[in-house]
Amino acid sequence: MVLSPGMPDSPPPTDAEVLAAPVNDADVLAPHPDTTPPVKELKLAPAPPEEADPFTATPAEAEEPAADPDKWIDPQQDWPYEWREFMGDRLAVRKPTQQALAALSLATNEFSTETRRTKYITLFVARHTSEGSWDRVFDRMMNPDDPEYTADSVSDFIKMVASAETE
């Protein structure tokens, strides 16, 4: 007895039966009405404005000249304290308090270890300069093509910060 595929007790069709069965394109390609999501209308974004051709642009259309790539700008432009010039850079510094200067003096005296001096000098500078300014000093110190910065530049920078008028 051959069971019909639609009968409830029918075994599943074999691979050979599936391959031999006629294919109705409408059944294969048509989506099932219960599972087909509704089609949403897509709206296209407006086209971007056309850019002027840089070779034919008139002076009114030409862009402003690019900023000098060699000029460094501290990323913390909203630094709430003061800005000081140091070896051609505009650096963000904070005036130290009397107790900060006293602590720096104690930490760097002749009885302090080199490790202690380094630790507290670094802490002093970190608390009295913006991160970007401190990074700039180190960047220039490590740049072999920047002859203006020498081994004394960091100590000169620390002295500049420490000599700012106290708060």
Q: Considering the domain boundaries, does residue 153 fall inside one? A: yes
DSSP characters over 87-135: TTEEEEE-PPPHHHHHHHHHHTSTTS-HHHHHHHHHHHHHHHB-HHHHH
Give me the pLDDT at residue 128, please. 93
Which amino acid belongs to residue 28? V
Q: What is the pLDDT of residue 103?
A: 92
What pLDDT score was predicted for residue 79?
79
The verdict on residue 47 lying in a domain is: no
pLDDT of residue 11: 73
In angstroms, the CA 10 to CA 20 distance is 18
- Residue-wise over 117-133: b if at least 16 C-beta within 10 A, else e? eeebbeebbeebbbebb
Q: Identify the domain containing residue 124 by its residue range.
A: 82-162
- Predicted structure pTM score: 0.52
Q: Is residue 15, in this structure, part of any structural domain at all?
A: no
Q: Is residue 142 part of a domain?
A: yes
- Residues 118, 120, 125, 131, CA torsion sign: positive
pLDDT at residue 119, as a whole number: 92
Domains held by the chain: number: 1
CB 96 within 8 Å of CB 128 = yes
Is residue 57 included in any domain, yes or no?
Answer: no
Q: Residue 113: what pLDDT?
A: 92
Residue 22 lies in a domain: no
CA distance 105 to 148: 28
The answer to whether residue 107 sits within a structural domain is yes
pLDDT for the residue numbered 96: 92
Residue 97 resides in a domain: yes
Q: Could you list the mean pLDDT of each consecutive 10-residue stretch along the chain, which spans 167 residues? A: 58 69 56 54 60 55 49 68 88 91 90 91 91 88 89 88 75
